[in-house]
Structure 1
Amino acid sequence: MAVEKVDTVVVGGGQAGIAASEHLSNHGIAHVVLERNRIAEKWRSARWDSLVANGPAWHDRFPNRDFDDPDYDAFIPKEAVADYFVDYVEQIKAPVRCGVTVEHVERTSNGGGFRIMTSDGAFEARHVIAATGAFQNPAIPPLVPSDAPVHQMHSNDYRNPEQLPEGAVLVVGAGSSGAQIAEELMEAGRQVYISIGAHDRPPRRYRGRDFVWWLGVLGKWDMQTPGAGTEHVTIAVSGANGGRTVDFRRFAAGGMHLLGLTESYKDGTVRFADDLAENIANGDANHLALLEEADAYVARHGLDLPENPEERKRWPDPACLTDPTRELDLQQAGITTILWATGFAVDYSWLKVDTFDERGRPLHQRGVSREPGVYFLGLPWQSRRGSSFIWGVWHDAKFIADQIAIQHAYETYQPAESNTKNLHVAALKEA
């Protein structure tokens, strides 16, 4: 079978790969985007039915196209987000090939490029952009044995409350996914227990502005590294039901049972850390700190934004917070499902190059790996806090495409001295 040669192969046809294609095209760099499923597939089939974007339509988009929804403050449903990327591919004429699985990538024998083996044949390229992102393999901590008498599933496989067996549900993880799913289950009439670890809890809106606006004007989207010890702190935020602040005390008032970090399991009993009060307090502190910064910004700039005292009010401490549960017998509690909202692990096993740490995580600087010619795109904190958002990955993709274009410029450089010398020799011969 013939080998197809192209300058750059982009692996992944989600938001990162599409953004990469746009910027590569702007530089005139020949490339192909390989996607094993459909464009933006994970928005369709790896999310629950009611999911909406966590940021409003005016913010969570690429700069060169708006959503069709005329309400710029709306939180776009997941299918419409996927359709947006399909339309964007058509808009920029991105060379996306769907149904092509990349099996492995390795350097060519002469070391000048890469050989990409796929389900649709072989490619050779000088550059490879791994645009598969960080949400690849669902991660479930090895705490509860698979043969334990309880149904277990990852949030990646959750679709709706009717999908689960009857009974109470233990949701492990209180980031955006865990908080939203737990609230949906509670509103569907389920008894819900939620295990809460360290988290940030921004206001959904404050003084007439969404929190994404506040992070922008306060310069927080451009933070280049997470704070010390906060690398794995999740953000509890939701666009569901028109968007409202995640408040775990409000959840408890609705009947949800709050728990600390899940520690262990034995003989049908789950044990939890004695850190619930601390985790809730730290989330409150994060929430209030942003309100204080927002108020200071309003005063400093003399803005006429309405005060919002409701956002500072706190629901009463529930009994499960003041007298936390440390052990939970699943059968006695009627829990038939454990839903793990515990994030994802990266999987670059197909990329056979030396640019990973001992845990398989990419070693890179703003997406530029230590393996010349290999780039990463779609990683959280890739260049800044905003990297994991749709607009953030677009800007990261521009930087990566710029780096490839810079390499092209170096490779085509011809020294002026050499050109002058050649002209001099020609002139002497004529003489």
Structure 2
Amino acid sequence: MIQPSIYHASHYPVIIVGGGQSGLSASHYLQQLDIEHLVLEKHEATHAWREKRWDAFSLVTPNWQCNLPGYPYAGNDPHGFMKRDEIIAYLDGFIDTLQPPIREGVTVNLVTPLESGGYELQTTVGTFTADHVIVASGGYHTPIIPDFAAKLPATITQIHSEQYRNPESLPEGAVLVVGSGQSGAQIAEDLHLAGKQVYLATGDAPRCARFYRGRDVVDWLADMGYYDLPVEEHPLREGVRDNTNHYVTGRDGGRDIDLRRFAKDGMVLFGRLEQLDGDTLSFAPTLKANLDNADAVYNRINRSIDQYIEKQGITAESASRYEPVWEPMNEHNTLNLNEAGITSIIWCIGFRPDFSWVDVPVFNAQGYPNHQRGVTTHAGLYFLGLPWLYTWGSGRFSGVARDAEFIVRLIDEIRVKGYVGASESGYVPSTL
């Protein structure tokens, strides 16, 4: 990695805020076009993968989808799922190959537009200016924890999913996991496999099969073109950005996550967590609906694969349909923490974006940037690495390169051809 001490300039044609896979992907294409730039990273490059993943974490998408620019997966298990340490090694290889012009340990406190054009960035190491700014800090900034969590007994250990490491790091006793998206479902499984008594408050997260008709479901969906579907062609349009990810796992070679099987094995399931009264939590009676809806999505995805197989005349294993292995005969609507022996709560209910440091009028009422494929209405300001920025893979190893190349090609043509206000005019790079 290039040493930050060699950087003395305060103005750059392009500054990238964020040194994760999206910011580094943009750096790759800027280097290819010999465009001077600087990456500013608050922590260290790819920090989230190093510090915000639990010990048993593995990818939920197969390794072949790891396709960072100039650095595709080259291991001997393309249909496997890299574990946490393997992911970090893959990222380290990408960084070593890229040698990005990055300054780590630098916080960007404020980005404001300049009257003369371009932007000013106030940081913890001084002020910079840039003609173009790519915000690549992701969309998962502020952990969501309900207000009433502050009223829980002080004897209860509370952590967010980003702080969870392993079952041994928790105190003895039962654990309540709140949220059944990808992180919640996988953390609940991790604790369950370790012999912990787990209570799980479910949400409306969907699920999907790991393998179906002889192949990984991801392989089928890739062949069907789902991962190339742009957001404007998705049935939900931009609304898909608010969807919770399907829960499934790559652990131990990959398998389904079936909350009903967990329940058969002793995990206690609830509907949506609603409120706290003393040391008793109450839940909405939504468990059956949550499980049924997750299974309906599971079967619907499989049916779409069935239709594709039939249409293409593909020889494959026989079709099947998931049937529930357990039903909640009587939903539990309350939980006394003391009586249940719960000593830990893990909040797995997501994050809120925080772009308050970007003082440019490009955000909607929810604080999310208005953009088209990462290009905002303020010339020279771009966003990269957000979920469904353009396709399903925009925030993942599989699709971020395409988005980064698009934005960098646009920057290059604006610089070379002198386009001004490109985003207002709907201009897109002629090379893509």
What's the TM-score, normalizing by structure 2? 0.89
Which of the numbers 287, 296, 299 marks the counterpart of 1:276?
287
- Asked if 1 retains the 8 angstrom alpha-carbon contact of 2:152 and 2:278, the reply is no
- Asked if 1 retains the 8 angstrom alpha-carbon contact of 2:66 and 2:72, the reply is no
- Asked if 2 retains the 8 angstrom alpha-carbon contact of 1:34 and 1:98, the reply is yes
Name the counterpart of 1:77: 83
Name the counterpart of 1:253: 264
Comparing 338-347 with 205-214, which one deviates more in the overlay? Answer: 205-214
The CA distance in 2 between the partners of 1:226 and 1:302, in whole Å, is 26
The CA distance in 2 between the partners of 1:412 and 1:279, in whole Å, is 50
Task: Tell me, yes or no, if structure 1 residue 363 matches structure 2 residue 374.
Answer: no
- Asked if 2 retains the 8 angstrom alpha-carbon contact of 1:3 and 1:121, the reply is no
Task: Tell me, yes or no, if structure 1 residue 158 matches structure 2 residue 169.
Answer: no
Name the counterpart of 1:286: 297
The CA distance in 1 between the partners of 2:375 and 2:77, in whole Å, is 37
Name the counterpart of 1:296: 307
- Asked if 2 retains the 8 angstrom alpha-carbon contact of 1:137 and 1:344, the reply is yes
* Alpha-carbon shift at residue 294 of structure 1 (Å): 1.1
Once the two structures are superposed, the pairs formed by residues 5-24 of structure 1 within 5 Å of their partners are: 5-24=11-30
One-letter amino acid of the counterpart of residue 119, structure 1: T
Comparing 56-65 with 199-208, which one deviates more in the overlay? Answer: 56-65
The CA distance in 1 between the partners of 2:171 and 2:160, in whole Å, is 15
Name the counterpart of 1:235: 246
- Asked if 1 retains the 8 angstrom alpha-carbon contact of 2:394 and 2:403, the reply is yes
One-letter amino acid of the counterpart of residue 46, structure 2: A
Cα 1:157–1:278 shift into 2, 3 Å: same
One-letter amino acid of the counterpart of residue 316, structure 1: V
Name the counterpart of 1:199: 205
* Alpha-carbon shift at residue 88 of structure 1 (Å): 1.4
The CA distance in 2 between the partners of 1:78 and 1:64, in whole Å, is 21
One-letter amino acid of the counterpart of residue 250, structure 1: R
- Find the residue that maps to 1:338 and give its secondary structure: strand
The CA distance in 2 between the partners of 1:127 and 1:70, in whole Å, is 40
Q: Deviations over 1:241-274 (max 9, x none)?
A: 2110111111112211111111111111111111
- Find the residue that maps to 1:397 and give its secondary structure: helix
Name the counterpart of 1:374: 381
Name the counterpart of 1:135: 140
Which of the numbers 387, 391, 401 marks the counterpart of 1:394?
401
Cα 1:412–1:232 shift into 2, 3 Å: closer
Cα 1:227–1:29 shift into 2, 3 Å: same
* Alpha-carbon shift at residue 313 of structure 1 (Å): 4.3
Which of the numbers 352, 356, 363 marks the counterpart of 1:349?
356
* Alpha-carbon shift at residue 39 of structure 1 (Å): 1.5
* Alpha-carbon shift at residue 71 of structure 1 (Å): 1.0
* Alpha-carbon shift at residue 112 of structure 1 (Å): 1.3
Comparing 325-334 with 397-406, which one deviates more in the overlay? Answer: 397-406
One-letter amino acid of the counterpart of residue 66, structure 2: D
- Asked if 1 retains the 8 angstrom alpha-carbon contact of 2:261 and 2:326, the reply is no
The CA distance in 2 between the partners of 1:31 and 1:128, in whole Å, is 10
- Structure 1 residue runs of 5 or longer lacking an equivalent are 414-431
* Alpha-carbon shift at residue 332 of structure 1 (Å): 1.1
The CA distance in 2 between the partners of 1:412 and 1:393, in whole Å, is 25
The CA distance in 2 between the partners of 1:354 and 1:412, in whole Å, is 21
The CA distance in 2 between the partners of 1:62 and 1:4, in whole Å, is 29
Q: Deviations over 1:294-313 (max 9, x none)?
A: 1221222222222364xx34
Comparing 264-273 with 346-355, which one deviates more in the overlay? Answer: 346-355
Name the counterpart of 2:426: none
Once the two structures are superposed, the pairs formed by residues 18-97 of structure 1 within 5 Å of their partners are: 18-62=24-68, 64-97=70-103
What's the TM-score, normalizing by structure 1? 0.89
- Asked if 2 retains the 8 angstrom alpha-carbon contact of 1:59 and 1:212, the reply is no
Task: Tell me, yes or no, if structure 1 residue 384 matches structure 2 residue 391.
Answer: yes
One-letter amino acid of the counterpart of residue 290, structure 1: I
Name the counterpart of 2:220: 214
One-letter amino acid of the counterpart of residue 342, structure 2: I
Point out 4+ residue stretches in structure 1 off by more than 3 angstroms.
66-69, 312-315
One-letter amino acid of the counterpart of residue 282, structure 2: R
- Find the residue that maps to 2:219 and give its secondary structure: helix
One-letter amino acid of the counterpart of residue 162, structure 2: N
* Alpha-carbon shift at residue 356 of structure 1 (Å): 1.7
- Asked if 1 retains the 8 angstrom alpha-carbon contact of 2:221 and 2:305, the reply is no
Task: Tell me, yes or no, if structure 1 residue 316 matches structure 2 residue 321.
Answer: no
- Find the residue that maps to 1:84 and give its secondary structure: helix
Name the counterpart of 1:421: none
- Find the residue that maps to 1:199 and give its secondary structure: coil
The CA distance in 1 between the partners of 2:230 and 2:261, in whole Å, is 30
Name the counterpart of 2:340: 333
Comparing 41-50 with 140-149, which one deviates more in the overlay? Answer: 140-149
- Asked if 1 retains the 8 angstrom alpha-carbon contact of 2:110 and 2:123, the reply is yes
The CA distance in 1 between the partners of 2:150 and 2:129, in whole Å, is 44
Task: Tell me, yes or no, if structure 1 residue 124 matches structure 2 residue 129.
Answer: yes
- Asked if 1 retains the 8 angstrom alpha-carbon contact of 2:306 and 2:319, the reply is no
* Alpha-carbon shift at residue 357 of structure 1 (Å): 2.3
* Alpha-carbon shift at residue 114 of structure 1 (Å): 1.2
The CA distance in 2 between the partners of 1:223 and 1:282, in whole Å, is 25
- Asked if 2 retains the 8 angstrom alpha-carbon contact of 1:136 and 1:345, the reply is yes
One-letter amino acid of the counterpart of residue 46, structure 1: K
Comparing 71-80 with 48-57, which one deviates more in the overlay? Answer: 71-80
Comparing 286-295 with 95-104, which one deviates more in the overlay? Answer: 95-104
* Alpha-carbon shift at residue 9 of structure 1 (Å): 0.2
One-letter amino acid of the counterpart of residue 161, structure 2: S
Root mean square deviation of aligned Cα = 2.1
Q: Number of aligned pairs?
A: 408
One-letter amino acid of the counterpart of residue 119, structure 2: F
Cα 1:241–1:281 shift into 2, 3 Å: same
* Alpha-carbon shift at residue 388 of structure 1 (Å): 2.4
The CA distance in 1 between the partners of 2:80 and 2:173, in whole Å, is 34
- Asked if 2 retains the 8 angstrom alpha-carbon contact of 1:226 and 1:385, the reply is no
Task: Tell me, yes or no, if structure 1 residue 411 matches structure 2 residue 381.
Answer: no
- Asked if 1 retains the 8 angstrom alpha-carbon contact of 2:299 and 2:322, the reply is no
Q: Deviations over 1:104-141 (max 9, x none)?
A: 22223x33111222233322100111100012221112
